Amino acid sequence: MAKPERGLGRGLDALFSVEESIDEKLVAEIEMKLIRPRKNQPRKNFDPERLQELAESIKERGVLQPILLRPREKGYEIVAGERRWRASKMAGLKMIPALVREMSDAEVAEISLIENLQRDDLSIIEEALAYKNMIEEFDYRQDVLSQKIGKSRVHISNTMRLLSLPQEVISLLENKQLTPGHARALLRLDSDSAQIKAARRIAEGKLSVRKAEQIIRFDQKEARPAQNNTAEEMDLQERLQKHLGSKVEIKRRRQGGSIEITYYDHEDLERILEIMGLK
């Protein structure tokens, strides 16, 4: 299957011609007090220490890269560069260099998401919420979003599935007591209570992802009704779950049997079909 075009995933340079990107005449000095952050900015958390470090750098060298703004009523809205704007405020700047362009809400959402993804500035939950917002607010299909931002549809779908975890588990993930690998493993458990119980154990024991997967497999077996599956069938079931990223059950009957694959929603089903080579 051919890889999707990267679209705006090539970066912010895709918005401007080469001449524009180096033409200082297009950079304006904008009053800090006229600028406001975007309400639906994907990034919600800013590390205070890193902001202070950037503020000290700005005091010494100034703002080396203009921020990107669009005109709004009584001022401007940040499209890209909120961290530089925040650090500039901390540094006591009254003006900041900026590129100002008219853009649609969808373009602004795409650019803001891409900037953060390229700089690894988003937590996995912030990333998942950004994808969800793009799909719900701008009616994007996952394959369209994939082309826009240069991420695979499978990655987008798997990331969004983390939002189905209980809030307590999401909080542990946001506080870095769990990793995305831990969270994906927890999705194999059927109930919120089982996921919370396993997440607490992983966080308290500071378990590796591999160890977490082992206890989750054990919890699955404990919760599963007794079946006459052979060791080979159980091993195949585990391998299918790991390959598809979804719960899989092999059910034996007197003659033959069935394989049951659980999916989260229609987009998740599309993801599974793509992995199976059926799309």
Q: What is the dihedral of CA 18, 20, 24, 30, to 10 degrees?
A: -130
Query: Tokens 């006591």, residue?
Result: 92
| Residues pairing with 199 in the sheet | none
**CA gap 234, 165 in Å, rounded:** 25
pTM across the whole model: 0.64
Domain with 225 in it: what CATH number? 1.10.10
Given a cut of 70, whether residue 30 has pLDDT beyond it is yes
Domain with 26 in it: what CATH number? 3.90.1530.30
Which pLDDT score is estimated for 229?
A: 72
Given a cut of 90, whether residue 13 has pLDDT beyond it is no
Residues 174 and 244 in one domain: yes
72 phi and psi, to 5 degrees?
Answer: -135, 170
Is 82 designated active site?
A: yes
Q: Let me know if residue 94 belongs to a domain.
A: yes
Q: Which of 80, 6, 14 is nearest to 43 (CA)?
A: 80
Low-confidence winner among 8-17, 85-94, 98-107, 197-206 (lowest mean pLDDT) = 8-17
Given a cut of 80, whether residue 105 has pLDDT beyond it is yes
Instruction: Identify the domain boundary among 100, 123, 146.
Output: 123
Query: What is the chain's mean pLDDT, rounded?
Result: 82
Given a cut of 70, whether residue 225 has pLDDT beyond it is no
Given a cut of 80, whether residue 184 has pLDDT beyond it is yes
Q: Domain containing 50: what range?
A: 7-123
Residues 219 and 119 in one domain: no
Residues 269 and 210 in one domain: yes
Residues 38 and 107 in one domain: yes
Q: Is 229 exposed, middle or buried (0-12, 13-18, 19+ CB in 10 A)?
A: middle
**121 and 43 in contact (C-beta within 8 Å)?**
yes
Low-confidence winner among 9-13, 20-24, 63-67, 192-196 (lowest mean pLDDT) = 9-13
Residues 96 and 37 in one domain: yes
Give the number of other Cβ atoms within 10 Å of residue 159's Cβ: 21
Q: Report the pLDDT averaged over residues 54-59.
A: 93
**CA gap 10, 248 in Å, rounded:** 37
**What percentage of the chain carries pLDDT values higher than 90?**
35
Q: Which of 235, 277, 264 is nearest to 128 (CA)?
A: 264
Structural domain total, the chain = 2
Given a cut of 80, whether residue 228 has pLDDT beyond it is no
Q: Report the pLDDT averaged over residues 219-224.
A: 63
Instruction: Identify the domain boundary among 106, 123, 140.
Output: 123
**What percentage of the chain carries pLDDT values higher than 70?**
86
Residue ranges of E strands in 38-191 = 67-72, 75-80, 95-100
Which pLDDT score is estimated for 5?
A: 37
β-strand pairing of 28-31 with 35-36: unpaired
Set 19, 29, 77, 82: catalytic member: 82
**CA gap 13, 111 in Å, rounded:** 10
- Sorting pLDDT into bands at 50, 70 and 90, what band is 261? confident
